[in-house]
Structure 1
Amino acid sequence: MSHATPEALLLLHAASTPAGFVASVRDLANYQRIWTRDGVITGLAALLSQNEELITVFRATLATIFAHQHATGFFPSNVDPVTHQASYGGNCGRVDNVSWAVVGLLQYAHLAPDGAAFAAPYAAQVARAFGVLDAWEFNGKHLVYVPQSGNWADEYVQHGYVLYDQLLRVWALELAARHYARADWAAQAAAIRAVLSRNYWPDPAADPATLYAPNLVHQLQKAPTGHWLLGFNPARVYPQLDLAANALALLLGLGTPAQDAALLRLLAERLAAQPGLLPAFSPAIERTDPLMAELADNYAYEFRNLPHEFHNGGRWPVWNGWLAAALHQRGAVALAADLGQRLAEANRHNPLDAARWGFYENLHGQTHAPIGVPYCTWSAAGSVLAEAYAQGQRLLTF
């Protein structure tokens, strides 16, 4: 393990509670709650760390979030470990939490010694989770419609058929199909993969009649190339590169060899052109961009999405960790190692206490200064995932 990993594991131990992993050891706002997304990502890192104590905390995390699954099928945004009150989101719930919960459960089932026995009683809840995702398709055409603020980037502009959420659903379906021997879920995942392959990587040579909707015929003419699209809705194709979605696309093997090669070239060019981590979404939405009007009022307490900050071009260790893992899986070892070193340097930076690793939520897109909450477990998880993949460990993918 790298020098980053012991520090990261220390933070995961410090963030351990009887109810699971909290989002940060800093007692600020609701960061000392059990979050579905943060808790699962941290738990996946715990699984790959092979630390028995941390794996036990992941088990508790899963038990907490599944105990608070809504009757409709979706999962909480977070659960207070003291009062046991669950929050299902502010203006909007979180679509990605549904798939993250299932992915976490079934990776635990695959990798933990007691995993199969632990997952067995949750079969009906997994089916209920897929049921709500089916309902959120609205048109029965294989893609979930994600409302604005409906996933991890809850103060950003994206809404509609967002690729990141579709990929997580595919991963959850494929894991569940294998674990519960459900051929129908395997077939559904394959159908979704086909839709993603056709609609999220522009192909001028393909028959336009096979696109998801007629709007895409003219919208894709203005779409960027060389990477998987963030997503689209009836009004637009989003131009930004979504780091999380492209990392998942590599990890889950969505692309052809030619597409993978093009994406790896683009990522290598962007890493060579700048120091530090890659932004979660790039380019940043500037003040003169028409999308800024849509971005400016989407906040609960204070506006954090200034250009190059937070979701708007901020550099998030968690998604860079996932990308490093995906690069290792695709054989881009040198690129992955470079990114892993940058990730360690980013996670080390701590203006509060130079002797302690900061593990900040994100870093400024231009200055690389830490932003947001320090001592975040999923930032630490990014380093653990990157190093575990460098050492040859793998989560189950198809």
Structure 2
Amino acid sequence: MHSSLLLEIEEAKRAAIEVLVHNMHGPFHGLPRTAGWGYPEPYTRDLMLSILGIAVSGNQQLMDSIRKVLETLALNQTKLGHIPSLVHDSEDRGASDTTPLFILAVGIYRRVTLDKHFLKSALEKALLWMEYQSPSDRSLVAQQPTSDWRDEQWVTGYGLFVNTLTYSYLKLLGLYERADKLRHAMGRFTITSGVMHKHVHEGLVVMYKPYYAFWSYKIFSSERFDLLGNSLAILSGLASSSRANEIITWIENECINMRKNGELKSDLPPNFFPYIKPTNPDWHERYKKYNNPGEYHNGGIWPFICGLYVAALVAAKRYRLAEKKLIEFTMIVKLARKTSLKYGFNEWIKAQDGMPMGQDWQTWSAAMYIYAAKCVETRETPFFSSS
């Protein structure tokens, strides 16, 4: 990589640390805020995902801060083991992804600090809670619509993101037998016949396409593409090496087509496509206000997900492509709604015109930039490649 580009990446990494340090103390019990000016609340899922960047940053202040977050979550955990959606609020419940993210984050924190017994009781309760999230008692984790990070998009039944998270923490914690059962369950095809035969169980593999389905439940499924879930499938090793490369090639080819027809401006992929349109059967009336095609969860470009995609490219040994995408990522994190900012680390970007539409100085956008840069620099994927 050219020296001038390396300097740009180093500058962006320093800016990302500045964002994380700025966001470290918010107005709620001194816990980190989710974005620099908007989102003063400590959202669990954002902060749990941010540990990937914090853990490779080498910044002890940030590690101490994330420890406080984890300990506060343990104190606010329900008696059955569920982790709340807001770190400080034990009554804000119902998210499907906060508990698996907590388990993953505790595993990462233990790996970095070598504290094998950190939050032992809370972790055991959370693991038990997750076992009970499988209605068929066959490893796949189910969820209610709009209960994961997509709070404005329906995921019904067995969602890819939550299940790839579960697979990732099982491997990280060395629970290989359970991880293998989940991998086997996810490896079944979605059911497309309209009839569910006895002893035939649905999975998340899409017929005739390389990627995993967005969600599946009984005879129903969505075969739209989820970049977050598929990136985690590659990063965690759930996808075989050949499947991982097929998924990446498919993504890049689809993005070329979207750029040709005006659906995408950036060289980075949207979080979800093809976009749901008002004429589609999976369109919901509420999407008209919050989730139009190419926006928010319905195809917006999310920097934190782009960071995981860059990491997935490294995991698949597509190093040159990972470098190329990191350079584009470096350009994307400069975009800001507040024009005085040199680096915006914005929440999400509109796909069709590349304009920043979310909150600036978003914690997980900054953290995942640091993680992606580390992966490209070392050609390793910390907390996944060695698990």
- Pairs aligned (count): 363
Q: Distance in 1 between matches of 2:23 and 2:122?
A: 27
Q: Distance in 2 between matches of 1:172 and 1:20?
A: 24
Give the SS at the match of 1:8: helix
Residue 248 of structure 2 corresponds to which residue in structure 1?
264
> Are residues 353 and 133 of structure 1, via their aligned partners in 2, closer, same or farther at CA, if it must alter by over 3 Å?
same
Opposite residue 325 of structure 2, the aligned amino acid is L
TM-superposed deviation, 1:239: 2.0
Q: Give CA deviations for 1:299-333 in whole Å, capped at 9, x if unaligned.
A: xxx93101111001111111110110121122111
Q: Distance in 1 between matches of 2:167 and 2:331?
A: 33
TM-superposed deviation, 1:210: 7.7
1:279 paired with 2:270, answer yes
Q: Distance in 2 between matches of 1:85 and 1:47?
A: 25
Q: Give CA deviations for 1:26-55 in whole Å, capped at 9, x if unaligned.
A: 1x3xx2122221111212211111112222
Opposite residue 102 of structure 2, the aligned amino acid is A
Which of 218, 237, 254 matches 2:238? 254
Q: Give CA deviations for 1:358-390 in whole Å, capped at 9, x if unaligned.
A: 111111121111112221111112211110111
Query: What's the C-alpha RMSD, in Å, of the aligned pairs?
Result: 2.5
Q: What does residue range 148-297 of structure 1 map to in structure 2 within 5 Å?
A: 148-176=145-173, 178=174, 185-199=175-189, 211-213=200-202, 225-273=209-257, 274=259, 275-292=266-283, 295-297=284-286
Give the SS at the match of 1:2: helix
Q: Give CA deviations for 1:216-245 in whole Å, capped at 9, x if unaligned.
A: 7xx988x56121211212352212110011
Q: Distance in 2 between matches of 1:212 and 1:154?
A: 27
1:352 paired with 2:312, answer no
Residue 34 of structure 2 corresponds to which residue in structure 1?
23
> Is the 2:50–2:367 Cα contact (8 Å) retained in structure 1?
yes
Residue 68 of structure 2 corresponds to which residue in structure 1?
60
Residue 96 of structure 2 corresponds to which residue in structure 1?
95
Which of 304, 313, 323 matches 1:337? 323
Residue 143 of structure 1 corresponds to which residue in structure 2?
140
Residue 3 of structure 2 corresponds to which residue in structure 1?
none
Q: Give CA deviations for 1:335-356 in whole Å, capped at 9, x if unaligned.
A: 1112112212111111322443
> Are residues 32 and 261 of structure 1, via their aligned partners in 2, closer, same or farther at CA, if it must alter by over 3 Å?
same
> Are residues 285 and 24 of structure 1, via their aligned partners in 2, closer, same or farther at CA, if it must alter by over 3 Å?
same
> Are residues 287 and 173 of structure 1, via their aligned partners in 2, closer, same or farther at CA, if it must alter by over 3 Å?
same
Q: Distance in 2 between matches of 1:139 and 1:367?
A: 43
Opposite residue 279 of structure 1, the aligned amino acid is P
Opposite residue 284 of structure 1, the aligned amino acid is Y
Give the SS at the match of 2:289: coil
Q: Distance in 1 between matches of 2:40 and 2:225?
A: 31
Q: Distance in 1 between matches of 2:30 and 2:51?
A: 13
> Is the 1:35–1:76 Cα contact (8 Å) retained in structure 2?
no
> Are residues 121 and 337 of structure 1, via their aligned partners in 2, closer, same or farther at CA, if it must alter by over 3 Å?
closer
Residue 396 of structure 1 corresponds to which residue in structure 2?
383
1:318 paired with 2:309, answer no
Opposite residue 172 of structure 1, the aligned amino acid is Y
> Is the 1:19–1:61 Cα contact (8 Å) retained in structure 2?
no
TM-superposed deviation, 1:105: 0.9
TM-superposed deviation, 1:151: 0.7
Which of 286, 303, 307 matches 2:293? 307
Give the SS at the match of 1:237: strand
1:10 paired with 2:24, answer no
Percent of aligned positions with the same letter in both sequences? 22
> Are residues 259 and 239 of structure 1, via their aligned partners in 2, closer, same or farther at CA, if it must alter by over 3 Å?
same
> Is the 1:23–1:34 Cα contact (8 Å) retained in structure 2?
yes
Opposite residue 73 of structure 1, the aligned amino acid is G
TM-superposed deviation, 1:193: 1.2
Opposite residue 287 of structure 1, the aligned amino acid is P
- Give TM-score scaled by structure 2 length: 0.87
Which of 315, 336, 361 matches 1:375? 361
- Give TM-score scaled by structure 1 length: 0.84
> Are residues 224 and 310 of structure 1, via their aligned partners in 2, closer, same or farther at CA, if it must alter by over 3 Å?
farther
Q: Distance in 1 between matches of 2:109 and 2:317?
A: 25
Identify unmatched segments of 5+ residues in structure 2: 1-8, 260-265
TM-superposed deviation, 1:13: 0.6
Q: Distance in 1 between matches of 2:200 and 2:343?
A: 47
TM-superposed deviation, 1:285: 0.5
> Are residues 263 and 220 of structure 1, via their aligned partners in 2, closer, same or farther at CA, if it must alter by over 3 Å?
closer
Q: Distance in 1 between matches of 2:375 and 2:205?
A: 35
> Are residues 121 and 385 of structure 1, via their aligned partners in 2, closer, same or farther at CA, if it must alter by over 3 Å?
closer
TM-superposed deviation, 1:281: 1.0
> Are residues 367 and 291 of structure 1, via their aligned partners in 2, closer, same or farther at CA, if it must alter by over 3 Å?
same
Q: Give CA deviations for 1:139-188 in whole Å, capped at 9, x if unaligned.
A: 21111111101211111021111111111112222223x3xxxxxx4321
Opposite residue 313 of structure 1, the aligned amino acid is G
Opposite residue 394 of structure 1, the aligned amino acid is T
Q: Give CA deviations for 1:102-125 in whole Å, capped at 9, x if unaligned.
A: 11111111113xx41xx5252222
1:73 paired with 2:60, answer no
Q: Distance in 1 between matches of 2:205 and 2:337?
A: 44
